Structure formats: C-alpha cells, structure tokens
Amino acid sequence: MESYYEKVLMVGKRLISLIALALNLDDQFFEKIGAFHSPMSFLRLIHYPGELSASDNGNFGASAHSDYGMVTLLVTDGVPGLQICREKDKHPQHWEDVHHVDGAFIVNVGDLLERWTNCLFRSTLHRVLAVGQERYSVAFFCDPHYDCVVECLESCCGETSPPRFPPIRCGDHLEERIRTSYASK
C-alpha cells in the first residue's frame, strides 16, 4: 500500500507539473511554492456492497460532490456506477457514465485547482450510483501541504476576469469542506 502511495504520488506530481505548463507556469511551480512538501495527499480504499440498503440514500453509493483537493486519481474494478456532470451549474443536470478503461486512471479535478485557476479548470461534479453489484475503487486525493496558500494564479485572471475566490490556506479549506459535508448528513 505504501509503495502504491509513493508511485501514485509521483504520477500526481507529474500530472500537476503538466497542468502548470498548460497554465503558462514553470513546470515546477507547485513544487516551488511548497505544495508537495509533506502533502496532505491520501488514499481511500472504497467498497460498495452489492446489496441496496436504506443507507444508500435513494440510489447512491456516493451522492453528487466534487473532491476537495487538487486532483484525484481513481482506479475502479470496472463495475459501473460512476457518473459525471460536465456542466455543473446547468439545470436540469445531465449525468454521463464514466466508462472503464483497463490500466487507466480516471482523473477528477478538485476544488483547490478550480480556485487556483479561477474556474479555468472546473472541479468535476461526480457521483456513484448503487447498481446492486459489489464494487471496489481506490481513490488517491492529491492534496497540497496544510499551509500552502491557494490564490488565483496570475495567468488565470485579468481586468475582465478578476479573482472569484479569496486566498485560502489549503488546510483551512479542507477542514471547512469536511465540516460542512458531515454537518449536512
């Protein structure tokens, strides 16, 4: 498990350095601001039981949400259920199945990257339907260092697109998101 964590963290860092290049930044930008110095990244091993139960909250193994951090690298066993909504502000929402590709990660953009990029990268709204079939997944949440300050990148704002979010410390954001998601249950 530790070796998987180390390897998937390397993939996450590489992906973030490519995202930095796409944002006209130095590929080591996030490394240099200390995002990966003792990151709060973690793995979650998830088992969805095959039987539908009252706790499925209707028909959901996981109800609609976006992940809190930078990016999530997800591996599943191929059992369907995961869906995304591309245009999360549009109503009614349109949900699409995410098809399994052997040997590939599913990458979800997280809320911190949305804040950093002033919504140029939107965080992925997703959910897992309970399909009455047992399902396993492993999610790697690539989250920066607790004290890393997330503020609109210069390349993502201008006169016509001012920053939409105030700067926030990564740890404060994650704690607030965890608090509000558990308070609403």
Ligand X SMILES: O=C(O)CCC(=O)C(=O)O
Site residues for ligand X per CB under 6 A: 44, 46, 62, 67, 74, 76, 82, 126, 128, 137, 139
User: Residue 46 touches which of ligand X, Fe ion, none (CB < 5 to 8 A by kind)?
Assistant: ligand X
Binder of residue 44, out of ligand X, Fe ion, none (CB less than 5 to 8 A by kind): ligand X
Q: Rounded CA gap, 74 and 107, in Å?
A: 6
Burial 62-80 (b: 16+ CB within 10 A, else e): beebbbbbbbbbbbbeebe
> DSSP 3-state assignment of 82?
strand
Q: Which does 128 bind (CB under 5 to 8 A by kind): Fe ion, ligand X, none?
A: ligand X
How far, in Å, CA of 151 to CA of 167, rounded?
4
83 binds, among ligand X, Fe ion, none (CB under 5 to 8 A by kind): none
Which helix (DSSP H) or strand (DSSP E) does residue 75 occupy?
strand 71-76
Q: How far is the CB of 162 from Fe ion (least distance, A)?
A: 29
CB of 84 to ligand X, least distance (A): 10
If the CB atoms of residues 43 and 149 are measured against Fe ion, the closer one turns out to be 43
Binding site for Fe ion (CB under 5 A): 67
Q: Which residue is nearest to ligand X (CB)?
A: 137
Alpha-carbon distance of 13 to 11, in angstroms, equals 5
Find the Cα–Cα–Cα–Cα dihedral 67, 118, 85, 63, rounded to 10°: 30
- Nearest approach, Cβ of 127 to ligand X (angstroms)? 8
Cβ proximity to ligand X, 58 vs 162, nearer residue: 58
